[in-house]
Amino acid sequence: MATVTVPETARGLLRRPTATTGAWSWLTTVDHKKIGIMYGVAAFVFFIVGGLEALLIRTQLYRPDGTLLNADQYNQVFTMHGITMIFLFVMPMSSALFNYLIPLMIGARDVAFPRLNAYSFWVFALGGLFLYSSPFLGGAPNGGWFGYAPNSTTDPSIGMTFYALGLIITGIASTAGAVNLAVTVVNMRAPGMSLFRMPPFVWMGLVVQFLLVFSLPIITVALFQLLFDRRWDTAFFDPTRGGDPILWQHLFWLFGHPEVYILILPAFGIFSEVLPVFSRKPLFGYRFLVIATILIGAYSFTVWAHHMFTTGAVALPFFSIATFIIAVPTGIKFFNWIGTMWGGRLIFPTPMLWAVGFLYLFLTGGLTGVILGSPPLDFHLHDTYYVVAHFHGVLVGGSVFALFAAIYFWFPKMTGRRLSEALGKLHFWSWLIGFTLTFFVQYQLGADGMMRRYADYPSEAGWTTLNMISTAGAFLLAFGTLPFLAAVVLALRRPADQPADPWEANSLEWATASPPPHHNFDSIPPIRSERPVFDARMAGTEVPGT
Amino acid sequence: MRLPFAGQPQETRFFLLICGWAGALGIIYWFVSHEVAGTALLAGLALASGAISAWLIRARRLAAKRQPTPSGIADLATDRTDASGGGTAGVDRPFLDESGRLPDPTLAPFAVGLGVALVVLGPVFGVAPVAVGAVSLLWGASLWLRAARDELDAQEPGHDERRR
């Protein structure tokens, strides 16, 4: 299976690049696997930067009357932390996995539009660089990651202009990537792979792409309105001239709540792949899990205003009930995962540890979200550290734990090398303990009345001890990341020695060499279920690539 | 009782499900809140999903009239009635023949991406980024289109003639 050879005479303005190694090959690649790796590396760099910003925040709040940052710097740091972790780390890290794995999992050579795929990556990377050029060009965004009007429209610094433009640019990348991956899944599945034979990770990916396609236009419109208000004196969000600042909240959260599921559904897909492998059982209730995913996707567009209960401008009963209902399909998934583990022959290599840790942390993060769905409680807890703890429970305990599980699970496939189990376990336990210390105390801080975005607090507030515990936990998270970096460096210095299927796994990506060849597969096993590699192994037939 | 769309492919049923869901929710939402914007959005989602479903049903009918499903693909997935043979009736058949293509490396996506990112900055940061971005965008687009054309020509020798 060769690439198309184009005659020299037919080549364009410059000779077409042919390098297969070195920096130039990465700059010019259209291979989904290399693009996936580039997404992953870029996202991880942003993760480190966003993590350092988190340490600045926690250091500032370690003691009362913190002086490390002034109020304006603090606003910039927490805003950039939020933007970075959501738009420049979790989303692109999910893109990394989708790019690398979806074509392999569905038995395709590449994505439907390989050049568009590379374009998406470069636009994302340039958007991220643009956002991070803001501190050097007049000031970083300072209005929070949700940029509420009228603060975002009236702030005189240039930061929120960078915010609007940067998110428009990264939104272009996400839209192109979403269309590409959706078309790939719909059109390029291998023979025999019906929709209900797709691996759960691919299902989650497909629903995420639809959420992106439907939700990104909404925030793009809102960002253009914000830009117009800031630069050309329009009044979309100015109530003194007939505008409405609540409109921004509607538009932002109509995008923002599906965005929560854009961030968490990849995690659900990862655990739905990891848990069956290390439970040595098929996924319990595969069809229910898929249907629950579709329902979550649909429901996610109906709960946006639970972020706006305190505005007094939304129908409380409707959005409260809708918020309770959306917990049901997520609960179904929990039963899927517990049922998968129940009675299984469990083993606990590092990816499985992250998966089990996720069950514990995401459950607490999710349940505290249901509490916030009750308007009377939300009125009390809105914009407090309780909310901060809740969404970090979902996004760190959910998405970030999943992404680490995915890296430990698929690293052998991507590189032919396995990450150290000892360092991986040190990494996991540091994070589990660090996370618990950092965020569980924040529930109490919120209940005690500490509001989010406070740059400092007085000593008589009684919040000092809990803040000190939280900051200690944040530093444990930071130092706990070092074993992971060491494991990656050590693994990459070793020769590739991993077989095609080191975990005895289920889906098609394990039916080709580690790392896969440029064309992905020489042949694939027959697809008769959602576990073709498992089926082939059980039938005693040779699995291609193994 | 057999539902009227039970025999449709999963893709069609998927969009029909979204259509029904958004429509039903839109009605409930209107009677609970009497709020126009949300109702309009839900109605829009229902209409868009319904339109896609209708298009898929129509396309399937037309395709069935034109030609039967290739037996080579259908045979690979006969043990479940919902097994469509992968993709949309076998548009992509990577392992039944070797004719698929993998594009060459190219600088075009980077150049177009850089161009788009710079042009977007123009309205705020002036003409300079627009000018640089436009050059990059046009050069990248030119590379992109040439690469696509050349690959098509290399795959289908007669294509160039037909194009002329």
Which residues of chain B from 44 to 63 reach within 8 Å of chain A, CB to CB? 45
Q: Any chain A CB within 8 A of the CB of B23?
A: no
Task: Name the DSSP letter for residue A400.
Answer: I
- Among A134, A53, A57, which Cα is nearest to A89's? A53
Instruction: For residue B87, list chain A residues with Cβ-Cβ distance below 8 A.
Output: 186-189
Q: At what angle do helices A464-493 and A421-447 cross, to 10 degrees?
A: 160
- Domains of chain A, residue spans: 30-538
How many structural domains comprise chain B?
A: 2
* Chain mean position to CA A186: 22
Task: Name the DSSP letter for residue A311.
Answer: G
Average pLDDT, chain A: 92
Instruction: For residue A173, list chain B residues with Cβ-Cβ distance below 8 A.
Output: 113
Contact B154 A5 (CB under 8 A): yes
What span, in angstroms and rounded, lies between the C-alpha atoms of A140 and A87? 15
Split at pLDDT 50, 70, 90, the class of A18 is low
- B53 belongs to a structural domain: yes
Amino acid at A302: T
The pLDDT profile of chain B, 164 residues, written as one tens digit per residue, is 556 666 777 778 888 988 998 999 999 989 988 888 788 888 998 999 999 999 988 888 888 777 655 444 444 443 443 444 444 333 334 444 434 567 888 999 999 999 999 998 887 788 999 999 999 999 999 999 988 888 777 766 555 555 54
Tell whether the model's pLDDT for residue A328 goes beyond 60.
yes
- Assess contact for A379 and A244: CB atoms under 8 A: no
Tell me the torsion sign for CA atoms A507, A512, A513, A517: negative
pLDDT at residue B125, rounded to an integer: 83
Closest approach of B163 to chain A, Cα-based (Å) = 15
User: Complex ipTM, two decimals?
Assistant: 0.87
- CA distances from residue A390 to A188, A319, A381, A440, A510 in whole angstroms, order as listed: 39, 18, 11, 9, 36
pLDDT at residue A172, rounded to an integer: 94
Q: What are phi and psi of A509, to 5 degrees?
A: -65, -20
pLDDT at residue A341, rounded to an integer: 95
Tell whether the model's pLDDT for residue A186 goes beyond 90.
no
Pair of tokens at residue A483: 């074993």
Instruction: For residue B108, list chain A residues with Cβ-Cβ distance below 8 A.
Output: 115
- B77 belongs to a structural domain: yes
Q: Any chain A CB within 8 A of the CB of B130?
A: no
Tell me the torsion sign for CA atoms B126, B128, B133, B138: positive
- Assess contact for A404 and A427: CB atoms under 8 A: yes
Pair of tokens at residue A244: 């409405």
- Is residue B63 located within the same domain as residue B142? no
Pair of tokens at residue A60: 């500032």
- Assess contact for A219 and A213: CB atoms under 8 A: no
In sequence order, which residues have a C-beta less than 8 Å from that of residue A240 and are 6 or more positions away? none
Q: Strand pairing partners for A384?
A: A451
- Assess contact for A427 and A484: CB atoms under 8 A: yes
- B103 belongs to a structural domain: no
- Is residue B120 located within the same domain as residue B45? no
- B102 belongs to a structural domain: no
- Is residue B52 located within the same domain as residue B89? yes
Instruction: For residue B32, list chain A residues with Cβ-Cβ distance below 8 A.
Output: 315, 317-318
- B19 belongs to a structural domain: yes
Percent of chain A with pLDDT over 90: 82
For residues A230-234, average pLDDT: 90
Tell whether the model's pLDDT for residue A539 goes beyond 90.
no
- Is residue B78 located within the same domain as residue B114? no
Contact A3 B102 (CB under 8 A): yes
- Is residue B86 located within the same domain as residue B124? no
- B38 belongs to a structural domain: yes
Contact B87 A521 (CB under 8 A): no
pLDDT at residue A75, rounded to an integer: 95
**Among A47-51, A243-247, B87-91, the least confident range:** B87-91
Determine whether A2 is exposed, middle or buried from the number of CB atoms within 10 Å of its CB (0-12, 13-18, 19+).
Answer: exposed
Q: What are phi and psi of A384, to 5 degrees?
A: -105, 180
- Closest alpha carbon within chain B to A301: B42
Omega of the bond leading into A150 within 30 degrees of 0 (cis): yes
For B124, the closest of A5, A12, A161 (CB atoms) is A161
Contact A126 B117 (CB under 8 A): yes
pLDDT at residue B86, rounded to an integer: 44
Q: Which fold has domain A30-538?
A: Cytochrome C Oxidase; Chain A (1.20.210)
A to B CB pairs, distance under 8 Å: 209
- Is residue B92 located within the same domain as residue B113? no
Pair of tokens at residue B85: 């043979």
| Greatest pairwise CA separation for chain A in angstroms | 78
Q: Render pLDDT for A191-209 as a digit per residue (tens, 0 to 9).
A: 888 888 999 999 999 999 9
Split at pLDDT 50, 70, 90, the class of A307 is very high
- Closest alpha carbon within chain B to A293: B14
pLDDT at residue B67, rounded to an integer: 64
Closest approach of B144 to chain A, Cα-based (Å) = 8
- Closest alpha carbon within chain B to A107: B94
> Which domain covers residue B112, as residue numbers?
108-163
Contact B106 A30 (CB under 8 A): yes
- Closest alpha carbon within chain B to A314: B33
pLDDT at residue B75, rounded to an integer: 42
Tell whether the model's pLDDT for residue A514 goes beyond 70.
yes
Instruction: For residue A194, list chain B residues with Cβ-Cβ distance below 8 A.
Output: 10, 77, 80, 82-86
Contact B120 A18 (CB under 8 A): no
Tell whether the model's pLDDT for residue A277 goes beyond 70.
yes
Instruction: For residue A8, list chain B residues with Cβ-Cβ distance below 8 A.
Output: none
pLDDT at residue A6, rounded to an integer: 47
Split at pLDDT 50, 70, 90, the class of A17 is low
Pair of tokens at residue A373: 């769905």
Closest approach of A474 to chain B, Cα-based (Å) = 35
For residues A213-240, average pLDDT: 93
Other beta carbons within 10 Å of A327: 16
What span, in angstroms and rounded, lies between the C-alpha atoms of A88 and A146? 15
For A188, the closest of B41, B92, B124 (CB atoms) is B92
Contact A123 B155 (CB under 8 A): no
Split at pLDDT 50, 70, 90, the class of A124 is very high
Contact A192 B154 (CB under 8 A): no
Q: Any chain A CB within 8 A of the CB of B102?
A: yes
Other beta carbons within 10 Å of A422: 11
pLDDT at residue B158, rounded to an integer: 56
Q: Any chain A CB within 8 A of the CB of B164?
A: no
pLDDT at residue A19, rounded to an integer: 64
Q: Helices in A232-285 by DSSP H: which ranges? A: 245-279
Pair of tokens at residue A271: 């655990």
Instruction: For residue B86, list chain A residues with Cβ-Cβ distance below 8 A.
Output: 107, 189-194, 527
What span, in angstroms and rounded, lies between the C-alpha atoms of A521 and B112? 30
Instruction: For residue B147, list chain A residues with Cβ-Cβ distance below 8 A.
Output: 6, 12, 16, 115
Instruction: For residue B159, list chain A residues with Cβ-Cβ distance below 8 A.
Output: none
**Among A195-204, A297-306, A385-394, the least confident range:** A297-306
For B96, the closest of A127, A191, A298 (CB atoms) is A191
For residues A8-34, average pLDDT: 72
pLDDT at residue A455, rounded to an integer: 94
Instruction: For residue A315, list chain B residues with Cβ-Cβ distance below 8 A.
Output: 32-33, 35
Coil, strand, or helix at residue B34? Answer: coil
Q: Can you give the C-alpha Rg of chain A in angstroms?
A: 23
Tell whether the model's pLDDT for residue A98 goes beyond 90.
yes
pLDDT at residue B63, rounded to an integer: 80
- Is residue B86 located within the same domain as residue B17? yes
Q: Render pLDDT for A456-483 as a digit per residue (tens, 0 to 9).
A: 999 999 999 999 999 999 999 999 999 9
Q: What is the DSSP string of A276-288?
A: HHHHTSPPTTHHH
- Is residue B32 located within the same domain as residue B81? yes
Other beta carbons within 10 Å of A358: 26
- B6 belongs to a structural domain: yes
Instruction: For residue A190, list chain B residues with Cβ-Cβ distance below 8 A.
Output: 86, 94-95
